[in-house]
Amino acid sequence: MDTHVQPTNKLPAGLDGSPPAGPPGPAGPPQRGRKTAIIAAVGALLLAGIAVGAVVLINNSKHGQSAQQTQQAAATVYQQKATAALAPVIAANQSLSTALQAVDGSGGTLHNANSAVAQAQTALTGARGAIAAFTAPPSQATLSQQIQQALTQENGYLQAVQATLSDPVGQSSSQVRTLATNTQSAFVAIASVAPGGTASISGIDNFMGWVSGANAQAKAKSQKPNVTIIQNPTTTVTSPSPTPSPSYSGIGPLTNTYGNLSATYSVSSGLANSVFYEYWKNGTGSGEAWSPHSQQYYNYSCSSDGITVTCNVYGTTDPSAGVQFSQADVNAYTQASADAFTSAGKAGPNG
């Protein structure tokens, strides 16, 4: 059986008019793939740079916030310490102001004022030491200077008050009001750490009123009395006019000296000391004083011109009996000394 071959229309290569296929040449470079790789690499580098920059910015921001928070914390701590250091000064000033408002020339009120100013000076010394113990951060440098200025003003004010209490006619008395005003102004600048500092200084008007009275009395005492010359054929008599202050008129010659106390001849040491003690204790111009020598009480009346206290003593053999002592000694007398005096029985049965 003959095999029938299906004819085909496909011509052999080369006979259909196309050039015969030659051997395959070398493969060309993958241009598109290389460009894509380069672009990807550049993009990756850019992304990495952006990431690094973002990290740097975040770190810098965090560092800035941390530094600011640290500075704020340091400022807060400094202010808290300053407030704690200044609080005793303000409290002592308030006590002193109360004492100055009560000053009336009596021994008790002057003693209280002296004690208050001494306590204020102690508080001031403590505050200065506390402030110096810690360093102010840079942001609080101005406040630190203002605190130092306020404490300096406070020191001058307290010194003037103390000196005036001891000698109301001295030069310091003329400076008290100005120094008080300057100290009040200095505390205004540090109100954030010393609340109430300005208002803690008061009582100046009453205090200066007492100073004016003491100065007037001292001036009257220093004036020379008028002298009348009486002439007659046989004698010349000089007659001084009456002493201006009645409280001094009954005191005789001060012939006895008992430490810092002076007394007339009929006043014993025990009675003179008792008059001094009673005047200091009561803060008034009159009362009763015990005499250990005669074992009885004697009435007395005293007056002070701010420098000298003069007391008439009644009931002794001398109608002009009296005692004199300085106001400064009254101001310096302490409760401890008073306790020792009474415990020894020198103040009498009534204490």
**What's residue 31's pLDDT?**
55
CB-CB contact of 50 with 42 (8 Å): no
**What's residue 228's pLDDT?**
43
| Residue 49: pLDDT over 90 | no
| Residue 321: pLDDT over 90 | yes
196 alpha-carbon distance from chain centroid: 11
Confidence of residue 59 (pLDDT cuts 50, 70, 90): low
DSSP labels, 235-268: -EEEEEPPPS-HHHHT-----EEETTEEE-TT--
Integer Cα distance of 79 and 141 in angstroms: 11
For the stretch 72-96, pLDDT in tens is: 998 999 999 999 999 999 999 999 9
DSSP labels, 127-165: HHHHHHTSPPPGGGHHHHHHHHHHHHHHHHHHHHHHHHH
Determine what percent of the chain falls in helix, strand and coil, rounding each to the nearest 5. Answer: 55, 10, 30
| Residue 225: pLDDT over 70 | no
| Residue 47: pLDDT over 90 | no
Comparison of pLDDT for 23 and 137, the residue scoring more: 137
Cβ burial 172-196 (10 Å sphere, 16+ → b, else e): bbebbbebbebbbebbebbeebbee
Integer Cα distance of 295 and 317 in angstroms: 15
Integer Cα distance of 90 and 152 in angstroms: 14
Confidence of residue 233 (pLDDT cuts 50, 70, 90): very low
Give the tokens for residue 304.
């002070």
Residue 159, CB half-sphere, CA atoms under 13 Å: how many? 8
Comparison of pLDDT for 178 and 15, the residue scoring more: 178
**What's residue 351's pLDDT?**
75
| Mean pLDDT taken over the chain | 79
**What's residue 44's pLDDT?**
56
For the stretch 258-278, pLDDT in tens is: 999 999 988 999 999 999 999
The pTM score is: 0.52
Integer Cα distance of 135 and 323 in angstroms: 56
Confidence of residue 211 (pLDDT cuts 50, 70, 90): confident
List all residues 6 or more positions away from 349 whose beta carbon is below 8 Å from its beta carbon: 290
Domain positions in the chain? 54-219, 244-343
